[in-house]
Amino acid sequence: MSHRVSLKNMVFYGFHGVYEFERELGQRFYVDLDMKADLSQAGKSDNLQETVDYVSIYNQTKEIVENHRFQILEALTYHIAGEVLRLHPLVEEVIVRVRKPSVPIAAALDYVEVESVRRREQ
């Protein structure tokens, strides 16, 4: 059986970007996580120890976005996904989406978004 646990539209202040001023001034980043896991045992037992601890995942995501600096969103999504898989053995697959609303390009748009899909290696 497969379950999906999602954390949607988390907002963090980070310092990511190709340009120096982006890494100095910072801005808001919006993050979504979708995780696939077999949580049947947790459903039967009603035990937090047998499920995905999304408070822990939120805190780990916050730490990466706010305390590390990446030039490109692809690197940020890659590192978030890697930490989720490394620290949460029940998670079989994670999809990370990061939105950056203030991009230094001459264009009218709401945001740029990068999505990374990573699966646990067998």
> Domain total for the chain?
1
User: What pTM, to 2 d.p., does this model score?
Assistant: 0.93
In a domain, 113, yes or no: no
Q: Which of 8, 36, 44, 100 is catalytic?
A: 100
Residues 6+ apart with CB under 8 A from 22: 15, 16, 104
Q: What is the pLDDT along the chain (122 residues), one digit of tens a residue?
A: 789 999 999 999 999 999 999 999 999 999 999 999 999 999 899 998 899 999 999 999 999 999 999 999 999 999 999 999 999 999 999 999 999 999 888 889 999 999 999 999 85
- By residue range, what is the domain housing residue 17? 3-103
- Indicate if 100 belongs to the active site: yes
In a domain, 114, yes or no: no
Q: Give the CA angle between residues 76, 80, 86 to the nearest 5°.
A: 145
